[in-house]
């Protein structure tokens, strides 16, 4: 029989493959058949692991947000210096956007409108804890006069600035991630607070 070997965690494999396909082609342009073929099963078998196609997108986003929050939390504890802590967050978000998690993160950033309203609220609620870490650190930075713009607005502008890097920044190019992170922080804090 040319039966596909049973895998330990087909579901996880599906989620990761879906993240890549959704990022490359977009959610609507990716068919369930494409996804199934990419992991080596038939299209109908996908629905043994997920209730619907949208359920797959939701799974991509929720697992991604969990990773994002975990890593950002760790970064926020890396230093006691506010300026360094801010740099660590920026650097971490850029790593999330351009490292091994990039597919899922890009999908979470730019394809949440493909979710139904109910699932959108779920995802938004999950993102809250991630954003809270940011707002805490930006609040500290504002209190210590490191930044001079409103933390809420600053975070939202920063979200866009960082997220948009996936459309132009290439980690293997002239500018490495550290340099980019430094540039972003310089934008927030001004040249006076650059320590290099």
Partner DNA sequence: CAGTCTACCAAGCGCTTGCTTGGTTGGCAA
Partner DNA sequence: TTGCCAACCAAGCAAGCGCTTGGTAGACTG
From 46-54, 107-115, 128-136, 155-163, give the range in contact with DNA by CB under 7 A. Answer: 46-54
Q: In the window 26-55, what residues touch a copy of itself (CB under 8 A)? A: 26, 28-29
Strand, helix or coil at 171?
coil
CA dihedral angle for residue 158, residue 162, residue 167, residue 173, rounded to 10 degrees: 140
Judged by beta carbon distances under 5 to 8 A according to partner kind, the member of a copy of itself, DNA, none in contact with residue 125 is none
Helix axes 53-76, 102-110, angle to 10 degrees: 110
Task: Look at residues 100, 163, 164 and name the one whose alpha carbon lies nearest to residue 130.
Answer: 163
Q: Is 71 a residue that touches DNA (CB under 7 A)?
A: no
Which residue bears the tokens 């926020």? Answer: 76
Sign of the C-alpha dihedral, residues 177, 178, 180, 181? positive
Q: Is 170 a residue that touches a copy of itself (CB under 8 A)?
A: no
Q: Is 175 a residue that touches a copy of itself (CB under 8 A)?
A: yes
Residues 134, 140 contacting (CB under 8 angstroms): no
| The only residue of 17, 69, 101, 162 in contact with a copy of itself, by rule CB under 8 A | 162
Residue 5 or residue 191: which is nearer to a copy of itself going by CB? 191
Judged by beta carbon distances under 5 to 8 A according to partner kind, the member of a copy of itself, DNA, none in contact with residue 116 is none
List residues near DNA by CB under 7 A.
1, 3-4, 6-7, 10, 30-34, 36, 40-45, 47-49, 52-54
């Amino acid at each position: 029989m040319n039966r596909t070997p049973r895998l330990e965690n087909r579901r996880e494999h599906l989620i990761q493959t879906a993240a890549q396909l959704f990022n490359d082609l977009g959610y609507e342009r990716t068919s369930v058949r494409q996804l199934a073929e990419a992991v080596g099963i038939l299209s109908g078998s996908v629905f043994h692991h997920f209730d619907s196609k949208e359920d797959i997108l939701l799974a991509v986003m929720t697992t991604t947000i969990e990773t994002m929050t975990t890593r950002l939390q760790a970064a926020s504890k890396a230093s006691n210096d506010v300026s360094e802590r801010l740099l660590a967050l920026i650097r971490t978000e850029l790593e999330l956007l351009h490292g091994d998690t990039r597919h899922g993160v890009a999908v979470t950033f730019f394809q949440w409108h493909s979710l139904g309203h109910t699932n959108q609220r779920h995802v938004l609620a999950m993102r809250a804890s991630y954003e809270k870490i940011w707002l805490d650190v930006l609040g500290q930075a504002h209190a210590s006069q490191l930044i001079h713009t409103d933390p809420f607005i600053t975070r939202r502008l920063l979200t866009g600035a960082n997220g948009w890097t996936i459309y132009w920044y290439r980690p293997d190019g002239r500018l490495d991630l550290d340099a980019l992170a430094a540039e972003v922080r310089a934008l927030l804090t001004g040249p006076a607070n650059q320590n290099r």
